[in-house]
Amino acid sequence: MESEDDIDMHDANNESGEDDFYSGGDDDAGAMAAYDDSDADVADYEFIDNDSDDSDDLVSHRYQQNYTVLSEVDICQRQEDDIMRISTVLSISKVEAGILLRYYNWSVSKVHDEWFADEERVRRSVGLLEKPVVPFPDGREMTCGICFETYPYDRLHAAACGHPFCNSCWAGYISTSINDGPGCLMLRCPDPSCAAAVGQDMINVLASDEDKEKYFRYFIRSYVEDNRKTKWCPAPGCDYAVDFILGSGSYDVSCRCSYGFCWNCTEEAHRPVDCGTVAKWILKNSAESENMNWILANSKPCPKCKRPIEKNQGCMHITCTPPCKFEFCWLCLGAWSEHGERTGGFYACNRYETAKQEGVYDEAEKRREMAKNSLERYTHYYERWATNQSSRQKALADLQQMQTVHLEKLSDIQCQPESQLKFITEAWLQIVECRRVLKWTYAYGYYLPEHEHAKRQFFEYLQGEAESGLERLHQCAEKELQVYLNAEGPSKDFNEFRTKLAGLTSVTRNYFENLVRALENGLSDVDSHGASSRMGSSKSLGGGSSRGRSGKAKGSTSRSSGSSRNIDDSGHWSCEYCTYANVKSAAICQMCQQRR
Amino acid sequence: MANSNLPRRIIKETQRLLSEPAPGISASPSEDNMRYFNVMILGPTQSPYEGGVFKLELFLPEEYPMAAPKVRFLTKIYHPNIDKLGRICLDILKDKWSPALQIRTVLLSIQALLSAPNPDDPLSENIAKHWKTNEAEAVETAKEWTRLYASGA
């Protein structure tokens, strides 16, 4: 009975809505309505990014609601609109409105609040003077406060404060400030006792063209960088910015340049793992990955003390350094004392070959994985994280190749319109997304406390399921498709392939939905009470987990994945196209609609 | 020489520094480089530096007055905002520089810094710590250093 409960828990999870993977429409709409900032501008710019074509459907329908991708034109337009609004409402010049907005980090509502609370104070701190603090020279000539030269009245300039400086000193002052960086946007009068702001109008009159251009760049950048709601896309060479509706759920955004990143921490998209874990993991990797790569490629752990050993001389007889001093064979990692004539001579080891055939070393491998050695533990997760990373890169390249070359070719060979081949693109998009999620689950796994056995087991189970589903899908999209690509003419079983791949795509998506959902609520479906029973009695869960772990489960599987309540195999049939486990009563696969 | 195209501002400042020196401060340009000044500042009364004569060097970079002058103590001094190389931690020599400031204002500010050390914004960590934990003792050390290094000038 106890194990029943566990299973219910897991299944309830599955049933809670197949369609709202990544919490689609409703949640976000709700969050948006709740977003009650008086920055009403948000509404004006919704869904600018909705021009994505159908093939992006998979991506766009998940994300479109809580952020907007902005081009430079969009950014300028918004900035201009905000400035206009403030200028109109506060009855100040556009230049002053720009200075004011910049000071309050481009928050229209903040400007309103501060201004109407205490205009006097705002004017003082921002440097917007209503009248000059010194009378502008009434004589014909004045001495510039910087170069000490005397100039006629019309060769001098002053900010709103009235402190006069000559045009060339102004140009030098402005130029120095602009070349010093974005601080030029908050330029003040050169007089040390004066706080009067120097705005764009004076820049336009007094600065060189080159400096004006730089100032303009800083002005635009500031609108993105100092604004709480916008960030640049971190992809190299990308000019887009992303405007995000704060408090609207998932931070994962996808730029128009196709790079997916986390808006919160600007690392690459890492849902369902939180930013803190990602930061820790990346830091750890940067400190250790180089070492780790080298150690993996060049060393084996001593079978006795587990310290990594580099083989830097020719023969297979290895002696570990003191205090261990264990003598062993590099090939079979067995004690050297057992080697000799029997094992094929001192400098060869047939034990290795035999043992490899018998699969003994898989056992040894597993044992080592189990060891609590922290280096090994880290290596375990790092390897898998990195492998999925490169696998995703490869999949992205394959997707690209598919879209630019193969689909057209396939369309010709199989006499199918390209619109009928969309399922292939969808499969690849799913693979790319799943590799990303899977990758980050390894960072998650690394930080999941060892003692939370139930959570670990549930996590590894879900991860294993998702992983093996993904392997099947990837295999199908990569290998099986080749047959049809290389065919001379139309293949009669192409439609079956379509059904299978579409089915696998859909099943894999379900697996990952479960995984993402479970990790996002902190595996809260499992409590410590359920742990012991799961450990004790739920054998099939453990089985699923370890098989998933290997990531190589092949062929038909009868693992329940959704509607089924039974975890054991009896009473289910596995669809031979998509491998979905259907309930006994169903004559048609619930996933891919193929007949039994 | 480079002095021939010296900006008028520097010439004017130099003239004024020589004709109306600020109390306790003297600054005179080097003979072969009009941008390089030999400076003396008298230790302010009621400060641990009282009675000392402190030598400094001041250099006006090419960008002056858009960029701040470079100033350094040549006389050893025990002060939380001055390090053992004589470098000075003073805002107007860095981000708070304005072209409307002058050599005179800079030197007056340095003089004021001698009267009012600021151990909360230290350049010399050890001295600042000394100042904060045992000000009386730190002041004694400063007086001692003044006697040792700044009196024979």
Average pLDDT of span A368-387? 71
Tokens describing residue A482: 């080749």
For residues B123 and A472, the model is more confident at: A472
Average pLDDT of span B22-31? 92
Task: Output the pLDDT for position A73.
Answer: 94
A528 and A557 in a common domain: yes
Chain A residues whose CB is inside 8 A of the B12 CB are 148
Task: Output the pLDDT for position A591.
Answer: 65
Cβ pair A172:B66 closer than 8 A: yes
β-sheet with A67-70: strand ranges across: A67-70, A241-244, A230-232
pLDDT in tens, A165-222: 999 999 999 999 999 888 899 999 999 889 999 999 999 999 999 999 999 999 999 9
Average pLDDT of span A296-322? 72
Q: Nearest chain B Cα to A172, which residue?
A: B66
Q: Is B5 on the interface with A (CB under 8 A)?
A: no
Instruction: List the single residue in B8, B63, B67 with the smallest CB-CB distance to A148.
Output: B8
A514 and A390 in a common domain: yes
Residue with tokens 């693109």: A425
* Phi, psi angle pair for B58, to nearest 5°: -135, 130
Q: Is A146 on the interface with B (CB under 8 A)?
A: yes
Residue A544 in this model has a pLDDT that exceeds 70: no
Evaluate whether residue A128 is within a structural domain. Answer: no
Evaluate whether residue A156 is within a structural domain. Answer: yes
A554 and A530 in a common domain: yes
Residue that finishes a domain, picked among A149, A171, A203: A203
Candidates A133, A170, A176, A180: best to mutate against B (most CBs of B within 10 A) is A176
Residue that finishes a domain, picked among A370, A396, A422: A370
- Minimal Cα–Cα distance from B7 to chain A, Å? 8
Tokens describing residue B124: 């010399």
Average pLDDT of span A356-376? 54
Q: In CATH, what is the architecture of B2-149?
A: Roll (3.10)
Q: Is A445 on the interface with B (CB under 8 A)?
A: no
Evaluate whether residue A18 is within a structural domain. Answer: no
Instruction: List the single residue in B9, B63, B92 with the smallest CB-CB distance to A146.
Output: B9
Task: Output the pLDDT for position A23.
Answer: 38
A502 and A426 in a common domain: yes
Chain A residues whose CB is inside 8 A of the B5 CB are none
Cβ pair B99:A149 closer than 8 A: no
Residue A476 in this model has a pLDDT that exceeds 50: yes
Residue A515 in this model has a pLDDT that exceeds 60: yes
Chain B residues whose CB is inside 8 A of the A190 CB are 98-100
By residue range, what is the domain housing residue A198? 134-182+190-203
Chain B residues whose CB is inside 8 A of the A150 CB are none
Distance of CA A340 to the CA centre of its chain: 54
Residue A280 in this model has a pLDDT that exceeds 90: no
Whole-angstrom distance, CA of residue A202 vs CA of residue B96: 21
Residue with tokens 């002052």: A173
Residue that finishes a domain, picked among A370, A402, A425: A370
Q: So where are chain B's domains?
A: 2-149
Give me the active site residues of A, please. Answer: 315
A424 and A354 in a common domain: no
Task: Output the pLDDT for position B139.
Answer: 93
Cβ pair A176:B67 closer than 8 A: yes
Q: Is B89 a catalytic residue?
A: yes
* Phi, psi angle pair for A550, to nearest 5°: -65, -20
A571 and A452 in a common domain: yes
A541 and A440 in a common domain: yes
Q: Is A191 on the interface with B (CB under 8 A)?
A: yes
Task: Output the pLDDT for position A306.
Answer: 74
pLDDT in tens, B90-145: 889 988 899 999 999 999 999 999 999 888 777 777 888 898 889 899 999 999 99
A416 and A447 in a common domain: yes
Residue A128 in this model has a pLDDT that exceeds 50: yes
Chain A residues whose CB is inside 8 A of the B13 CB are 148
Evaluate whether residue A10 is within a structural domain. Answer: no
Contacts of the segment B32-41: beta carbons below 8 A, 24+ positions apart: B32/B1, B33/B2, B33/B3, B34/B2, B34/B3, B34/B6, B34/B10, B35/B2, B35/B6, B35/B10, B35/B59, B35/B60, B35/B61, B35/B64, B36/B60, B37/B103, B39/B71, B39/B107, B40/B153, B41/B107, B41/B110, B41/B111, B41/B114
Instruction: List the single residue in B8, B66, B100 with the smallest CB-CB distance to A191.
Output: B100
Cβ pair B66:A145 closer than 8 A: no
Query: For all residues of chain A together, what is the average pLDDT?
Result: 76
Average pLDDT of span B16-32? 92
Q: How confident is the model at residue A532 (pLDDT cuts 50, 70, 90)?
A: very low
Residue with tokens 């987990």: A545
CB A437 within 8 A of CB A271: yes
Evaluate whether residue A7 is within a structural domain. Answer: no
Q: Nearest chain B Cα to A174, which residue?
A: B66
For residues A52 and A302, the model is more confident at: A302
Which residues, 6 or more positions from A146, have their beta carbon under 8 angstroms from its beta carbon? A165, A166, A169, A172, A173, A190, B9, B65, B99, B100
Cβ pair A148:B100 closer than 8 A: no
- Minimal Cα–Cα distance from B26 to chain A, Å? 21
Whole-angstrom distance, CA of residue A573 vs CA of residue A293: 44
A424 and A332 in a common domain: no
> What H or E segment, with its residue span, contains residue A51?
none
Cβ pair A148:B9 closer than 8 A: yes
Evaluate whether residue A228 is within a structural domain. Answer: no
> Chain A neighbours among B 46-105 (CB < 8 Å)?
63, 65-67, 92, 96, 98-101, 105
Whole-angstrom distance, CA of residue B133 vs CA of residue B122: 14
Task: Output the pLDDT for position A173.
Answer: 94
Q: Rounded to whole angstroms, what are the CA distances from A529 to A185, A209, A456, A487, A526? A: 60, 71, 14, 56, 8
DSSP state of A402: I
The tally of domains found in chain A comes to: 3
- CA angle (A404, A405, A406) in 5-degree steps: 120
pLDDT in tens, A132-164: 888 766 667 888 889 888 888 888 889 999 898
Evaluate whether residue A143 is within a structural domain. Answer: yes
Cβ pair A176:B9 closer than 8 A: no
pLDDT in tens, A18-43: 333 333 334 433 333 333 444 444 43
Q: Which of A23-37, A285-299, A565-579, B48-62 has the highest mean pLDDT?
A: B48-62
Q: Is A205 on the interface with B (CB under 8 A)?
A: no
- Minimal Cα–Cα distance from A256 to chain B, Å? 39
Evaluate whether residue A148 is within a structural domain. Answer: yes
Q: What is the DSSP string of A19-50?
A: S-TTS-HHHHHHHHHH---S-THHHHTTTTTT
Whole-angstrom distance, CA of residue B142 vs CA of residue B46: 13
Residue A394 in this model has a pLDDT that exceeds 80: yes
Q: Which CATH number is A160's domain given?
A: 3.30.40.10
Q: Is A145 on the interface with B (CB under 8 A)?
A: yes
Residue B65 in this model has a pLDDT that exceeds 80: yes
Cis peptide before A190 (omega within 30 of 0): no
DSSP state of A574: E
Residue A536 in this model has a pLDDT that exceeds 70: no
